[in-house]
Structure 1
Amino acid sequence: MAPDSKKHLASCHCGSVQFEVRLTDEFNTIRRCTCSYCRMRGAVAVSAQLDGINFLKGEETLTLYEFNTKTAKHYFCPVCGIYTHHQRRSNPTQIGINVACLAGVSPFDFAEVVVYDGVNHPSDASSGPLVAGILRFSPT
C-alpha cells in the first residue's frame, strides 16, 4: 500500500469480509459504468492500486464473477451478496472499490458521479474512456 495516503476501513454488509484500502486519489476517481454488469449492479466505485487493499477477514471466502473477456474480476461476499471490489478491465493494475463498503461513506455523499461508457469499452477502442453522463444526487 502507498504509505502516503489515508487508510480506509471497509466491509461487506454482514461483516464476513473486512479490509482496509488506500485509495489512488481519495474520492477524485469516483465513477459508475454503463456496462451490462455495472448497470445491473448499480454501485459507485473509487480507485485503488492492486497493492492498496489489505484483507483483515474473509478474503478466502470471496466469490469471483467474470464475464465476456474475463479480464475484469468482480468480487462479492457469499454470505450477504454485497459487491466489495473488482479488478478493472480498463486498467488491470487498479481495483474499483464499492464506496458503500467504506466505513462512514455513502454513494449519496457525492453530488455528482461521472458515468463511464462501459458498453463501448475503452479497451475495445483507441479513443480512451468515454463519459456517458453525470449522475446527480440532490437531497430534498
Structure 2
Amino acid sequence: MKYRGSCHCGKIAFEVEGNLEQVMDCNCSLCSRRGYLLWFVPRDQLHLETPESDLSTYRFNRMHIAHYFCATCGCGPFGEALDPKGNAMAAVNVRCLEDVPLDGLKVVKVDGRSF
C-alpha cells in the first residue's frame, strides 16, 4: 500500500510504500521527546516529492542515523540509516502519514536508551 506523508507545513513531502502493521515506540532521548512512532522500510520504498535541499539533518550519539526535519515547522517526518546488514533503511514517523489510524497498529516498545 502507498502512503503520503509530510511535515506540518508541507515543505517536506513524500510517498512510502509497504505493509504498515506495526510501529516502534523508542524511549531514546530524541524519540521520546518528539513522540515518534517509527515504521521501518527499505529506503528505496520512500520517494521524496520535494527537493532534498529542504531537508535539515540532525545526528547524535554514534551519528549513524540521519534524522530529517523541516527547518520551517520543525516536524521530523523520517530518518535514514543502514541496518545491521548494511541495507539502506528509512524510519518513517507514522504520525506524519495521512489517514493512518494509529489505534489499529501494533506498537512494539524498544529500549533505545540502552543502545
Match of 1:8 among 3, 8, 16: 3
RMSD: 1.9
Question: 2:67, 2:78 within 8 Å by CA — same for their partners in 1?
Answer: yes
Q: Kindly state the Cα deviation for residue 20 of structure 1 after the two structures are TM-superposed.
A: 0.7
How much has 1:118 moved relative to structure 2?
A: 0.6
Cα deviation for residue 93 of structure 1 reads 2.2
Q: Which has the higher helix share?
A: 2
Amino acid at match of 2:107: V
Does structure 2 retain, via aligned residues, the 8 Å contact 1:29–1:47? no
Structure 1 residue 89: Cα displacement: 6.4
Partner of 1:53: 46
Aligned equivalents of 1:86, 1:51: Cα separation in 2: 13
Moved more, 26-35 or 89-98: 89-98
Q: Does 1:117 align with 2:111?
A: yes
5+ residue gaps, structure 2, are: none
What amino acid sits opposite 2:112 in the alignment?
G
- Provide TM-score, normalisation by structure 1: 0.72
After TM superposition, list the pairs within 5 Å mapping 1:33-112 onto structure 2. Answer: 33-88=26-81, 91=84, 93-106=88-101, 108-110=102-104, 112=106
2:24 aligned residue (31, 34, 38): 31
CA contact (8 A) 2:7 2:96 kept: yes
Which structure ranks higher in relative contact order (CA pairs < 8 Å, sequence separation ≥ 6)?
2
Distance in 1 between the 2:48 and 2:35 partners? Answer: 24
Is 1:19 the counterpart of 2:6 in the alignment? no
Query: Which amino acid in the other structure matches residue 116 of structure 1?
Result: V
- C-alpha separation in 2, matches of 1:52 and 1:79: 25
Q: Deviations over 1:14-52 (max 9, x none)?
A: 1111111113xx223411111111111111111111111
